[in-house]
Amino acid sequence: MNVVCVDFSKSNGKIKPVHGVCNGPICNSGVTDLSKYYREIGVPSVRLHDTDGANSRFYVDVSRIFPNFDADEQNPSNYFFERTDRLLKSIQALNSEIIYRLGESIDHDIGARYAAPPKDFDKWVRIVLQIIRHYNNGWANGFNMNIRRWEIWNEAEGINERGIRCNWRGGTFEQVMDLYARAAIAIKAENPDYLIGGLAFCGVSESVAEFISFCCDKKLPLDFLSYHGYLNSVKEVTEPAFRCRELLDNAGFTKVEIIFDEWNYIGFERKIEGDIWKILRSDDTVDLCKEAFDNQGNEVGAAFDAAALIAMNSCPVDIANYYDAQMISRFCGLFDRYACPLKPYYSFCAYGELFRASSNAAQVETEGDGIYALAGTGDKQNTVLISSFRGDEGTVELRMNGLGGHPYKAEIFILDKEHNLSPEKTEYYSADKVTQFLELSRYSVAMIKITRAE
């Protein structure tokens, strides 16, 4: 039998704001607004990259806001802010923090006109400063949004299965570090309170260690390190974060944040031979491609996402952003093409409920493979979140201590193949220690809301 032990009388720090997403609620070329769903989740942060799809036409990217690189960067008429203005205002209305990626969306096509090193690094930095001034200092009929986190570029070290750098076409890693150095120094000079980081790495490789050493040797500003991962196990969520923390601490960057700002489940729940990225991009394996992306949006993805959010609370990740919350992206498991919520959306809602209701995390221990749990305490509600990701189907024994002995109502919600965080039953407790039995399938999520009985 699987066992989860929760002691509400013992604190285990704070619940982390790791249920952020990539891209804002306005998507589908501005036609669709998902704000009501973002509010239900309580999205804490929105990271902007591949906005409105890879190789975006209108949003965020430096080349989209300043389309003619040879133009005068001091002249407001050479900037196209309108689409990005609307997007950022919609995010602000949610009280979600904006993580603004300064650079370009990825481009897998042959030309990659924009996803390449700028032809003049210093001018690129001057353009970036004008963009920052527009959103934070009112320049060019702009705003005072107080955007704090500015991320430099995205996945410049990445080389795809065809040997192509999709987001730094024709450039070297030394060049992108040089661009980072120039931008970080200039942005900090603009406002020392801005938080600068990057490089939005594909994963935690030797390039991360090289970049950290570069920043240390050059004494460059580095407020956060960002990296990505498309994952098939919870172990793959936690191990890179510990490696990042080790590398940063060894370099003296003990206060640098770790932002896991592009993540998702990817893969199969059966043995499949071959490179996953080749499978996803080959015309000969479209059936497997469909299976992998279907898994992102069904109960498999839902259970994995809940387990990942739980696991991030026990590793050095500070902020995280799921890729992607746009309905038009096939990498999105939150919404279908009609903007209807998919099962992982409800995992994010459950985590958001736990996050909002909890002032502290409670002490939790688990027994059994594939069972992950997190609990929180609050003035009005205690909450338990349990994910069975590849767990043994059957009974989970939830042992709770420190309830206080008052009359409590426990509402139990289930997310699985048949249910979308649906209320399963309501129990009533009146003891300090209570054992609750739950029936969970191999891919499922349970949320228990415990409040004072009226």
Q: How do strand 224-231 and strand 257-265 relate by DSSP bridges? A: parallel
Last residue of a domain, one of 357, 390, 410: 357
For residues 60 and 169, membership in a common domain is answered with yes
pLDDT profile of the chain (454 residues), mean per 10: 96 97 94 97 97 83 96 98 97 98 87 87 98 98 98 91 81 96 98 98 97 98 98 97 98 98 96 92 94 97 98 98 92 94 98 98 97 97 98 96 94 98 96 97 98 88
Q: How do strand 45-48 and strand 97-102 relate by DSSP bridges? A: parallel
For residues 174 and 65, membership in a common domain is answered with yes
d(CA 81, CA 58): 9
Predicted confidence at residue 165, as pLDDT, reads: 78
SS3 58: coil
Work out the widest C-alpha separation in the chain, in whole angstroms: 72
d(CA 42, CA 35): 10
d(CA 330, CA 290): 10
d(CA 404, CA 400): 11
Residue 372 sits in a domain of what CATH number?
Answer: 2.60.40.1180
Predicted confidence at residue 233, as pLDDT, reads: 97
For residues 232 and 381, membership in a common domain is answered with no
Q: How do strand 97-102 and strand 394-401 relate by DSSP bridges? A: unpaired
Q: How far apart are the first and last CA of the chain?
A: 33
For residues 146 and 126, membership in a common domain is answered with yes
- Identify the CA nearest to 211 among candidates 192, 191, 227: 227
DSSP 69: T
Predicted confidence at residue 110, as pLDDT, reads: 67
Q: Please indicate, yes or no, if residue 7 is contained in any of the structural domains.
A: no
Residue 383 belongs to domain spanning:
360-452
Q: Which two tokens stand for residue 371?
A: 């069972």
Q: Which two tokens stand for residue 443?
A: 């891919």
For residues 334 and 368, membership in a common domain is answered with no
d(CA 82, CA 17): 30
Residue 143 sits in a domain of what CATH number?
Answer: 3.20.20.80
Helix or strand holding residue 2 (H, E): strand 2-11
CA dihedral (39, 41, 45, 48) positive or negative: negative
d(CA 206, CA 188): 27
For residues 38 and 143, membership in a common domain is answered with yes
Question: Where does 172-298 have alpha helices with state H?
Answer: 173-190, 206-218, 235-250, 276-281, 286-297
Q: Please indicate, yes or no, if residue 387 is contained in any of the structural domains.
A: yes
Q: How far is CA 389 from the centre of its chain?
A: 19
The pLDDT tens digits for 403-426 are: 998 899 999 999 999 999 999 999
Residue length, the chain?
Answer: 454
The pLDDT tens digits for 134-160 are: 999 999 999 999 999 999 999 999 887
Q: Please indicate, yes or no, if residue 5 is contained in any of the structural domains.
A: no
Helix axes 173-190, 121-136, angle to 10 degrees: 40
For residues 52 and 150, membership in a common domain is answered with yes
Q: How far is CA 344 from the centre of its chain?
A: 13
d(CA 286, CA 280): 7
Helix axes 286-297, 343-357, angle to 10 degrees: 30
Q: How many folded domains does the chain comprise?
A: 2
